[in-house]
């Protein structure tokens, strides 16, 4: 209702509110931290997915699943980087044959990625995976899908119904966006009904596209229409330097609206890079506590008296060795410097021939330009020790 009110009415409402109660109390009702869209909870081994639980980060192994040792090594690297659920493709029987060993050695729940073959799904469930990812659209018969549902139910295995825009039937290059969303929703609804009719509700949903706006629209639609947990991702986003911006734009849009319960960043490259970007998106939105330092740096302008960028890069090198959520600000002038310093653990605010050093918002030293770096090193080390 509020969104449909005219701005004049809103203005009047607000004027009244200012008279009656302090503005910030009124506004605090409307502008709060991200409120997750409510979903059911699904168990993926010991990991829970759904709005009552923290958003989890997933990735996928990029070696042949039949090579269990290589897969296990990659899973351990991913888990160490922060991956919480890992998926493995199982196109052949040799791949599912390796799953048992992989599952028992993996520190995180393993998901089998199924396409085309119901046999692979049944073998994966038998091998003990915690979840399978299924695109029911590419399983040949309904009875095969039902056999997978029954096996998953008997083994307490979750199923992600994962449809990709690229694999939706009836879509052509000319299909307009509205029609695409409608077709994806229709397909999703028919799958969900099939699962529910067979008494299965350990369902996670995903509908991916390689287009940012399509990803946002489809997921808003899915979130509005179904209350199963939602797995987000921009698919086929490209090599890391191409993938970061569109992925962050798509996921930023959805997560900031409370949409999304688990996510996978898709990067053509090292899967650890997927975890890094995913983690950056979650921490920058305040969804996940930061564990590494954050470097606030002013972009510099005609006011800057020293080379702020060079200084910021040197301080970045110092911070690379500190694995604590220290907030450090490098500012080029006094316009926003003191303000950013107030929000930082350590800050430097550079003027002409001298700079002010701050700790937790308090100016603690005035140093010459050549003393900035050693002073910052000292303060960063000391501040990190106290965290």
DSSP string, 293-359: -EEEE----TT--S-HHHHHHHHHHHHTT--S--EEEEESSTTTHHHHHHTSSEEEEE-SSEEEEEE
Query: Is residue 300 a contact point for a second copy (CB under 8 A)?
Result: yes
Taking the complex as a whole, how short is the minimal distance between the CB of residue 376 and a second copy, in angstroms?
15
Q: Which is nearer to a second copy, 66 or 377 (CB)?
A: 66
**What is the sign of the dihedral through the CA atoms of 68, 69, 74 and 80?**
positive
Residue 247 or 375 having the CB closest to a second copy: 247
Q: Which long-range contacts (CB under 8 A, 24 or more apart) does 274-280 make?
A: 274/59, 274/60, 275/57, 275/59, 275/78, 275/81, 275/82, 275/83, 276/81, 277/240, 277/243, 277/244, 277/247, 277/248, 278/57, 278/59, 278/82, 279/57, 279/82, 280/248
The encoded tokens of residue 324 equal: 């604590």
SS3 (DSSP) at 56: strand
Residue 24 near a second copy by CB under 8 A = yes
Q: Which of 51, 84, 164, 206 binds a second copy (CB under 8 A)?
A: 164
CB of 237 to a second copy, least distance (A): 8
- 3-class secondary structure, 52: coil
Figure out which of the listed residues 126, 150, 280, 371 binds a second copy, where binding follows CB under 8 A. 280
Looking at 103-111, 141-149, 334-342, 369-377, which segment touches a second copy (CB under 8 A)? 334-342
State which residue, 200 or 226, has the beta carbon closest to a second copy. 226
Beta bridge partner(s), residue 85: 58
Binds a second copy (CB under 8 A): choice among 12, 93, 170, 177: 177
Q: Which is nearer to a second copy, 156 or 363 (CB)?
A: 363
Q: Is residue 237 part of the contact set for a second copy (CB under 8 A)?
A: yes
**Residue of 153, 236, 324, 354 that binds a second copy (CB under 8 A):** 236
Contacting a second copy (CB under 8 A), which of 106, 129, 157, 165?
Answer: 165
Among 103, 108, 111, 298, binds a second copy (CB under 8 A): 298
Closer Cβ to a second copy, 9 or 156, answer by number:
9
Does residue 7 belong to the site contacting a second copy (CB under 8 A)?
Answer: yes
- Please report, as residue ranges, which positions from 344 to 363 form the binding site for a second copy (by CB under 8 A): 360-361
60/110 Cα distance (integer angstroms) = 10
Q: Which of residues 51-110 bind a second copy (CB under 8 A)?
A: 60-66, 71, 87-91, 95
Which one of 103-111, 141-149, 251-259, 373-381 is the stretch in contact with a second copy (CB under 8 A)? 251-259
Residue of 73, 183, 272, 318 interacting with a second copy (CB under 8 A):
183
Q: How many CB atoms are closer than 10 A to CB 379?
A: 20
Task: Give whichever of 34 and 365 is closer to a second copy, judged by the CB atom.
Answer: 34
Minimum CB–partner distance for residue 365 and a second copy (Å): 19
Measuring CA to CA, how many Å separate 93 from each of 67, 71, 123, 127, 180?
12, 16, 8, 12, 34
Contacts of 356 (CB under 8 A, 6+ apart): 337, 341, 348, 349, 363, 365, 366
């Amino acid at each position: 209702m509020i969104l449909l009110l005219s701005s004049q009415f809103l203005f009047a409402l607000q004027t009244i509110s200012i008279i009656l109660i302090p503005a910030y109390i009124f506004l605090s009702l409307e502008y709060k931290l991200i409120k997750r869209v409510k979903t059911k909870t699904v168990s993926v081994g010991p990991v829970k997915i759904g709005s009552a639980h923290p958003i989890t980060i997933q990735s996928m192994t990029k070696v042949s699943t039949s090579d269990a040792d290589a897969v296990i090594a990659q899973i351990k690297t991913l888990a160490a980087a922060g991956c919480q659920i890992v998926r493995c493709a199982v196109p052949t029987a040799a791949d599912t044959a390796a799953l048992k060993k992989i599952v028992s050695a993996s520190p995180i729940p393993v998901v089998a990625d199924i396409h085309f073959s119901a046999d692979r799904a049944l073998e994966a469930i038998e091998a003990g995976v915690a979840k399978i990812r299924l695109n029911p659209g590419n399983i040949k018969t309904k009875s095969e899908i039902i056999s997978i549902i029954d096996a998953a139910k008997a083994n307490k295995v979750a199923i992600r119904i994962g449809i990709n825009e690229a694999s939706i039937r009836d879509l052509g290059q000319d299909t307009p966006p509205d029609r695409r969303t409608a077709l994806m929703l229709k397909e999703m609804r028919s799958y969900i009904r099939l699962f529910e009719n067979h008494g299965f509700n350990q369902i996670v949903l995903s509908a991916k596209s390689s287009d940012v706006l399509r990803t946002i629209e489809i997921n808003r639609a899915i979130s509005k229409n179904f209350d199963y947990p939602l797995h987000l991702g921009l698919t086929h986003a490209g090599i890391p330097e191409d993938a970061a911006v569109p992925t962050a734009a798509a996921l930023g849009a959805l997560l900031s609206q409370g949409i999304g319960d688990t996510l996978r960043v898709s990067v053509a490259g090292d899967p650890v890079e997927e975890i890094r970007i995913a983690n950056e998106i979650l921490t920058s939105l305040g969804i996940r506590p930061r564990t590494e330092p954050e470097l606030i740096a002013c972009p510099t302008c005609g006011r800057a008296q020293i080379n702020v960028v060079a200084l910021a890069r040197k301080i970045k090198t110092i911070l690379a060795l500190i694995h604590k959520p220290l907030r450090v600000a490098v500012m080029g002038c006094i316009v926003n410097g003191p303000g950013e310093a107030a929000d930082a653990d350590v800050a430097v605010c550079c003027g002409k021939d001298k700079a002010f050093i701050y700790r937790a918002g308090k100016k603690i030293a005035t140093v010459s330009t050549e003393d900035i770096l050693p002073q910052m090193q000292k303060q960063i080390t000391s501040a990190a020790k106290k965290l």
